[in-house]
Amino acid sequence: MFSGSYVALVTPFKENGAVDEKKFEELIEFQIKNGTSGLVPCGCTGEAATLRHEEQKALIKLAVEIVDKRIPVVPGTGSNNTDEALELTRCAKKSGADGALLITPYYNKPTPEGQYRHYAKIAEETKLPLMLYNVPSRTGISMLPETIARLSKIKNIVAIKEASGSLDQISRILSLCDITVLSGDDSLTLPMMAVGAKGVVSVVANIIPKEVNEMVKAYLDGDMAKAVDIHYKILDLTKAMFIETNPIPVKTALKFMGKLNGVLRLPLCEMAKGNEEKLKSVLKE
C-alpha cells in the first residue's frame, strides 16, 4: 500500500481562522484527479501543531468520507505524548483510515528505547498499519536505523517517511530490514528511490501532483530517463517550498494559483515580500 506519490496535504482555513471544509474537499479532488497515490492530511504540512484535537479528528473523518476508498488515507496522528498519539490513532482507525503517520516524539527527546516503546504501544493497541516519521529538523532528534529495524519486526509497523536528508540513513535502514521507505524530502525523492525508497510523502505535490506522481511512477516502471527529466524539471520548485518554514511557501503558492486564500495559523504568518517574489519567479518558470 505505501508506495507511490503521497501528498502531505495542507489544511485550508477561512479568513476567520476556522477550518474550511469546502476547500479541503476541493484540494482532495484536485489530488485524486491528478493521480496522487494517497493522502496524508493533518501532518506537519497540515499544521497539525495548531489544530485542536477535535478539529484534527473531524478532518481525518472528513478526508476518509470524501476519498471514499478511491486512494489510501494515512493521516498524521503523532504527538510527543504517547497517550494523545494513541487517542488520535484510534480515531483514525475508527474513521476508516488506511493507516497512520506518527512523527518521532519531539521536544522531550526520548532515548531509542523510549522511541521503541512509544511506537510499539500504539501499534499493539490499534493494529492499524503505521508509518513512522523521522524528521530531525522538526523534532530535535533522529531515529537510529537500528531502532527502525527493531520496530519493523512489529507486524503493523510497515513504513517510514524519512526526512533526515541523508542517503546514508536510508541505505543503513534498508541494509538492516525490509521496511518500506518513503522520501520526506521532495528534492531527494529520486536519489532516495535509487537506493531503495518506494516513493514520497510530498509537499510540492500540493501544487504539482501530476508531475510528482509521474516521476515516481516512471522510476518504479523502470523508465529512468523520464524520471530524471522530471526530477530536474521540478527541482527548483521543490527547493522553493522551503525558502521559509513549511507550509508557508506551499500555501502561498496555492494562493497564487487561486486555490486557497493562503491563511496560516499563528505562530506561522505570511511570507516575506522578498521571498514571495522569488516564489513567483520559480512558479512562472
Q: What angle do CA 237, 172, 189 make, to 5 degrees?
A: 15
Among 161, 217, 251, 259, the one annotated catalytic: 161
Which residues, at least 6 apart from 96, have a Cβ–Cβ distance to it below 8 Å? 64, 73
Q: Cell 484527479 maps to which residue?
A: 33
Contact criterion met (CB below 8 Å) for 8 and 251: no
Using DSSP bridges, classify how beta strands 157-162 and 4-8 pair: parallel, antiparallel or unpaired. Answer: unpaired
The rounded distance, in Å, linking the Cα atoms of 77 and 100 is 6
Is 94 assigned a catalytic role? no
Using DSSP bridges, classify how beta strands 157-162 and 199-202 pair: parallel, antiparallel or unpaired. Answer: unpaired
Among 119, 133, 251, 259, the one annotated catalytic: 133
Q: Cell 474513521 maps to which residue?
A: 95
If DSSP codes are grouped into helix, strand and coil, which group holds residue 99?
coil
The C-alpha cell that represents 39 in the structure block: 493522502
Is 217 assigned a catalytic role? no
Which residues are known to be catalytic? 133, 161
